C-alpha cells in the first residue's frame, strides 16, 4: 500500500542495505510466479531509500508480448489505495508515469484511482487490459490484510496464487542482516512472504540488480508496481528494455513559448492556429501562470515543423521559447 512509511512497504523499499547476492542463488526466471505520505508538520518523513551495494541478476529480455514487430501505442494507469482517495497520501506515481509515456512516445489515455476493493480492481484491470497496450498498477502489494492487489489481479485473470521461489530467496538474502527478522513470529513471517505470492501464470521480471522486488506482468500488458515513489520510479525506468517501445522517430517533440500577455488576448490566434495545424497532427495548448502570463505548448512528431511554428507563435504572442527546465521550475514553486 501507499500509506506506510515506517512499516510494511517502507521496509519493502529499503530491505537490506549492504549485502551481496551469493552465487548460490538460482538465476531469475520470468516465468510465474504507495505514493508518498503527507506527514503532519511535527513528523519527519522517511528518508528516500538508497539503492546501492546489491548484485542481483537481471531477468533476460523476453519476446515481444504484443507480437513481433508491434509496439506500445496506448497506456493506462490504475492507482490503488484508500489513502489516495481520502487525501492521506499524495499520488506522485501517476504524474511520473505520464511523463514517462510522453517521453517514450506512448499516448497515455487514462488514469484511474480506485479503492482497496477486490471488485473494483478486477473490473478496472480487465477493462484496461482489453483497451490499452500497456497498463500499470501502483500500490497494494505489501504484507498486510488490505494489500490485495496480487490476489485481486489473480482472480481478474482466472489464475491461482503461488509463492515465487526466486523472489523469496532474494527477499531473505536482502533482509538476513536485519535484527527484526530473527524476532518475527511465524505469523509475521507468513505476512512478509505474501510479497512473493504472485498470480501463478505471471511473468516475473527482475529489472534492476539493486532491487529484490520484481515487476509482475500479466497478460503481456499489465505490470504491477509498488506504490512507494522511489521504488516505482526506479523500477519503471529500468523496465524500458522489457517493453516494445515506439521507435524514436515516432516520439513527440514539445516546444513551449512563454508570453506575458493574458490568455484572452492570444485566444483568437491560438484557435485559428489549432484549426490550421490539427491535420498535421500538431497539438496546441495554453497554460496560464497566475499574474505572470501564459505558456503556449506545441507538440508534434516533426521537430522542424514544430520549431517553425514556435517562431510564428513567438512573434504573434510577443513571447519567447523557453526550456522544459524553466517551465518545470515555475510549476515546482507553485505559481502555475
The pLDDT tens digits of the residues spanning 265-284 come to: 999 999 999 999 999 999 99
Burial per residue of 279-313, b for 16 or more beta-carbon CB atoms within 10 angstroms, e otherwise: eeebebebeeeeeebbbbbbbbeeeebbeebbeeb
Q: How far is CA 32 from CA 121, 129, 167, 317, in A?
A: 21, 19, 11, 56
The gap from C-alpha 257 to its chain's centroid, in whole angstroms, comes to 28
- The strand ranges marked E within 179-324 are 197-199, 203-205, 215-218, 222-225, 253-259, 283-289, 293-300, 320-322
In a domain, 56, yes or no: yes
User: Nearest Cα to 12, choosing from 237, 236, 235?
Assistant: 235
Q: At what angle do helices 186-193 and 165-175 cross, to 10 degrees?
A: 120
In three-state secondary structure terms, 38 is: coil
In a domain, 59, yes or no: yes
Do 115 and 262 have their domain in common? no
Residue 232 sits in the same domain as residue 98:
yes
Same domain membership, residue 164 and residue 58? yes
Kindly state whether residues 76 and 111 are assigned to the same domain: yes
| Location of C-alpha cell 536485519 | 178
Residue 80, pLDDT above cutoff 90:
yes
Q: 113 and 43, same structural domain?
A: yes
- On whether residue 1 sits in a domain, the answer given is no
Cell matching residue 170: 532474494
Last residue of one domain, picked from the residues 242, 274, 302: 242
What is the number of structural domains in the chain? 2
**How many Å apart are CA 79 and CA 85, to the nearest integer?**
10
pLDDT tens digits, residue range 90-99? 999 999 999 9
Domain match, 196 and 328 both:
no
Q: Which long-range contacts (CB under 8 A, 24 or more apart) does 94-103 make?
A: 94/138, 96/229, 96/232, 96/233, 96/236, 97/136, 97/138, 97/236, 100/236, 100/237, 101/75, 102/252, 102/254, 103/251
Range of 5-9, 45-49, 145-149 with top mean pLDDT:
145-149
Q: Residue 303 maps to which CATH number?
A: 3.30.70
Q: Which of 182, 217, 242 is the last residue of a domain?
A: 242
Report, as an integer, the average pLDDT of 286-315: 94
Residue 153 lies in a domain: yes
Angstrom distance (rounded) from CA 252 to CA 191: 44
Q: Which residues contact 241 (CB under 8 A, 6 or more apart)?
A: 61
DSSP, collapsed to helix, strand or coil, labels residue 163 as strand
Domain that holds residue 261: 252-332
Q: Is the pLDDT of residue 6 over 50?
A: no
CATH number for the domain harbouring residue 199: 3.40.980.10
Do 141 and 194 lie in one domain? The reply is yes
Residue 2: inside a domain: no
Is the pLDDT assigned to residue 140 strictly greater than 70? Answer: yes
Whether residue 261 sits in one domain with residue 237: no
φ, ψ for residue 270, nearest 5 deg: -65, -35
Per the model's pLDDT, the better-predicted residue between 168 and 26 turns out to be 168
Q: Within a domain: residue 213?
A: yes
| 31 and 99, same domain (yes or no) | yes
**Residues 185 and 203 placed together within one structural domain of the fold:** yes
* Residue the block writes with cell 505476512: 191
User: Are residues 83 and 193 part of one domain?
Assistant: yes
Pairing of strands 215-218, 36-37: unpaired
At which of 178, 212, 242 does a domain end?
A: 242
Residue 197 has pLDDT above 90, yes or no: yes
Judge whether 3 lies within some domain: no
Record the pTM.
Answer: 0.79
pLDDT of the residue at 52: 52
Task: For the chain, give percent helix, strand, coil, nearest 5.
Answer: 40, 20, 40
- Tell me, yes or no, whether 247 lies in a domain: no
Confidence tier at 156 by pLDDT (50, 70, 90): very high
Identify whether residues 36 and 99 lie together within a single domain. Answer: yes
Amino acid at each position: 500500500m501507499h500509506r506506510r512509511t515506517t512499516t510494511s512497504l517502507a521496509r519493502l523499499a529499503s530491505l537490506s542495505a549492504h549485502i551481496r547476492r551469493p552465487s548460490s542463488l538460482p538465476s531469475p526466471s520470468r516465468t510465474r510466479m504507495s505514493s508518498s505520505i503527507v506527514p503532519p508538520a511535527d513528523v519527519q518523513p522517511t528518508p528516500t531509500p538508497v539503492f546501492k551495494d546489491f548484485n542481483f541478476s537481471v531477468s533476460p529480455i523476453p519476446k515481444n508480448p504484443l507480437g513481433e514487430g508491434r509496439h506500445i501505442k496506448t497506456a493506462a494507469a490504475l492507482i490503488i489505495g484508500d489513502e489516495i482517495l481520502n487525501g492521506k497520501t499524495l499520488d506522485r506515481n501517476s504524474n511520473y508515469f505520464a511523463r514517462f509515456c510522453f517521453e517514450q512516445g506512448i499516448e497515455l489515455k487514462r488514469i484511474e484511482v480506485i479503492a482497496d476493493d477486490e471488485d473494483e480492481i478486477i473490473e478496472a484491470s480487465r477493462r484496461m487490459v482489453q483497451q490499452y497496450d500497456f497498463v500499470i498498477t501502483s500500490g497494494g502489494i505489501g504484507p498486510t490484510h488490505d494489500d490485495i492487489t496480487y490476489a485481486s489481479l489473480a482472480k481478474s485473470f482466472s489464475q491461482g496464487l503461488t509463492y515465487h521461489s526466486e523472489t523469496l530467496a532474494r527477499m531473505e538474502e536482502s533482509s538476513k542482516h536485519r535484527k527484526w527478522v530473527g524476532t518475527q513470529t511465524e505469523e509475521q513471517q507468513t505476512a512478509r512472504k505474501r510479497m512473493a505470492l504472485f498470480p501463478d501464470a505471471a511473468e516475473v521480471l527482475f529489472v534492476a540488480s539493486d532491487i529484490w522486488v520484481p515487476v509482475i506482468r500479466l497478460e503481456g500488458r499489465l505490470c504491477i508496481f509498488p506504490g512507494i515513489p522511489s521504488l516505482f520510479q526506479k523500477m519503471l525506468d529500468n523496465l524500458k528494455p522489457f517493453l516494445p517501445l515506439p521507435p524514436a522517430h515516432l516520439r513527440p517533440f514539445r516546444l513551449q513559448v512563454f508570453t506575458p500577455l493574458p490568455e484572452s488576448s492570444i485566444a483568437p490566434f491560438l484557435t485559428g492556429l489549432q484549426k490550421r495545424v490539427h491535420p498535421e497532427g500538431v497539438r496546441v495548448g495554453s497554460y496560464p501562470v497566475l499574474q505572470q502570463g501564459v505558456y503556449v505548448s506545441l507538440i508534434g512528431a516533426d521537430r522542424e515543423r514544430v520549431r517553425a511554428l514556435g517562431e510564428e507563435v513567438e512573434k504573434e504572442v510577443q513571447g519567447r521559447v523557453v526550456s522544459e527546465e524553466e517551465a518545470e521550475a515555475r510549476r515546482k514553486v507553485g505559481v502555475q
